[in-house]
Structure 1
């Protein structure tokens, strides 16, 4: 048997001969519509909670492990309270209630 015969016998349908495997030769992205989702409501508006720099345990919910302030699209806070929350987190950092980063 020659090398050519070996290659033809061992040829797999999922291989296109270029070294990689192709699932489907047709292109196209498969996106589609996203399902319905529930709108997050602002905790500060509904429960009349006030962000305070002296309460670091409460503020830690709005900060990542690396110390970044979470955006309002993730936390669900409205723009007004997101600004107030950011100010209080920065104030707590300066006064050493919260770390600037957690390593």
Structure 2
């Protein structure tokens, strides 16, 4: 049986693997958020949406996953109540 040979080949392949270390470029992120997220705090919520009214992704705004979920829910609640617009109509349409 060549079963034992197969194991030794896999071990030699694993020892020769080189894993490169890739350094990520630092992106300009917003100031880390500290405080409570509330749908009534429009000044705070406007910092986390684009000029078009879209919610900024987590990799840009620097929030944790839990904070991003709460921020998205607060923005959506504020939109439903009418405190934030769904889209920004001041932009000229093309």
TM-score class, shorter-chain normalisation, is 0.5 to 0.7
2:65 and 2:40 map into 1 onto residues whose CA distance is 22
Large movers: runs of 4+ above 4 Å: 33-36, 38-42
Partner of 1:58: 44
Structure 2 runs not aligned, ≥5 long = 1-21, 90-94
How many residues were matched structurally? Answer: 68
Q: Name the TM-score, length of structure 2 as normaliser.
A: 0.62
> Which structure has the greater CA radius of gyration?
1
Instruction: Determine which of 62, 70, 77 is the counterpart of 1:84.
Output: 70
Contact 2:30 2:60 in 1 (8 A): no
2:28 and 2:84 map into 1 onto residues whose CA distance is 29
Q: Which has the higher helix share?
A: 2
1:66 and 1:41 map into 2 onto residues whose CA distance is 18
Q: Name the TM-score, length of structure 1 as normaliser.
A: 0.57
Structure 1 runs not aligned, ≥5 long = 1-32
Task: Give the RMSD, CA atoms, in angstroms.
Answer: 2.7
